[in-house]
Amino acid sequence: MKHSELFKLIFGLIPVAVLALILLFFFFTFYLPRRRKSNVELAASESTTDPDRIESDCELVHEDLVCFQGGGDLHIPDILDAPGEVIGKSSYGTLYKATLIRDHVDSLVLLRFLRPACSASIKEVISVVNAVGLIRHPNLVPLHAFYVGPRGEKLLVYPFYNRGNLSEFIRDGNAESLKWEIIYKISYGIVKGLDHLHTGLNRQIIHGNLKSKNILLDSNYQPYLSDYGLHLLLNPTAGQEMLKTSAAQGYKAPELIKMKDVNETTDIYSLGVVVLELLTGKEPIDPNPSHSREFYLPDVIRSAILDHQIGDLYHPDLLTDLNSEQKLIAEDRILKLVQLAITCCSPSPSLRPHIKEVLRKLKEIGK
């Protein structure tokens, strides 16, 4: 090889080498950091269609905050430093009413803390949270953000609702809770919310833990179902604990033995119990079983129907302040709603109506 040829070859390679160096520089300074930083944005963006990528990224990141619509301006310290009070405790975690302070403005939120020992694998959790975080419906509590801490603790961030939960509303002596219009409006909203979970999503979500304490009310008595799909975030042991509590409070369908077997018909059963609660103002199970006979609301209503004890089917104050003609119309509607609720509580799952059927009947009753 002549000297001049070697010379040409070297000079010819220099631009290539420089270009390669420049490309490497840009790769390390811009591409890599962006990819890491975008974990949160990626998981939060609605267009994300590649769950595998998020999952593998999340296992590398020990502390992470995933924000959804409505939680976009949240930061980890906002949530962890928020002063809060405990309003609910369960075997798998704690519910807090907390005050977020952002830009000197206070706002109330609900924080649900899940104990690390109770949670399903991070892979399952992330996939469920990404589905639940996108759900928006006028009768469903939206998930605003999801936080995973360094020890595997998890926090779910929800908005706070003024009037608290339905269980409290039914029993706090509020005269509004004994008005037919309010009972109807609340029942209708609950059914609409459940209908969306059962039939309105690409991937159906079974609520799994429907009860009056999991239904929140705003100042207009609009109901919002909360904690739907929460059972999917729990490991099997914690799921069974949740089911045990649901059974002890009277919402569990009788045939249901394993939390993982919940389906549409078991949700419909719980729905029936909640509507009976609204109509009677009574708890599904007597919290102070002083009576010789055990009290279970669906059974009591069923036998009252058989015995034609109409007066036992709803709260007597529902018909006060009405003239006799109004009373007839109101009682007819009330009895139809009792009938619908008790059909939802059929001991046999195949006899319970589909949510669409419940909605159709409910519309008919409201006419």
Binding site for ligand NAG (CB under 6 A): 87-88, 95, 164-165, 167-168, 213, 255-256, 261, 263, 265-266, 349
Nearer to ligand NAG, 213 or 231 (CB): 213
Nearer to ligand NAG, 95 or 232 (CB): 95
Nearer to ligand NAG, 187 or 346 (CB): 346
CA distance 30 to 309: 75
Minimum Å distance from CB 165 to ligand NAG? 4
Minimum Å distance from CB 324 to ligand NAG? 37
Instruction: Tell me the two tokens of residue 331.
Output: 């009682």
Give the largest Cα separation in the chain, rounded: 117
Q: Determine whether 8 is exposed, middle or buried from the number of CB atoms within 10 Å of its CB (0-12, 13-18, 19+).
A: exposed
Nearer to ligand NAG, 245 or 339 (CB): 245
CA distance 24 to 22: 5
Minimum Å distance from CB 363 to ligand NAG? 24
Minimum Å distance from CB 320 to ligand NAG? 25
Nearer to ligand NAG, 75 or 260 (CB): 260
CB 215 within 8 A of CB 166: yes
Minimum Å distance from CB 107 to ligand NAG? 18
CA distance 240 to 235: 9
Minimum Å distance from CB 265 to ligand NAG? 5
Minimum Å distance from CB 133 to ligand NAG? 21
Residues 6+ away with beta carbon under 8 Å from 284:
249, 250, 251, 273, 276, 277, 296, 297, 298
The label of the residue with tokens 């279970």 reads 296
Nearer to ligand NAG, 87 or 122 (CB): 87
- Cα distances from 213 to residues 165, 209, 250, in angstroms, run 5, 10, 12
CB 225 within 8 A of CB 214: yes
Nearer to ligand NAG, 95 or 279 (CB): 95
CA distance 34 to 38: 6
CB 229 within 8 A of CB 205: yes
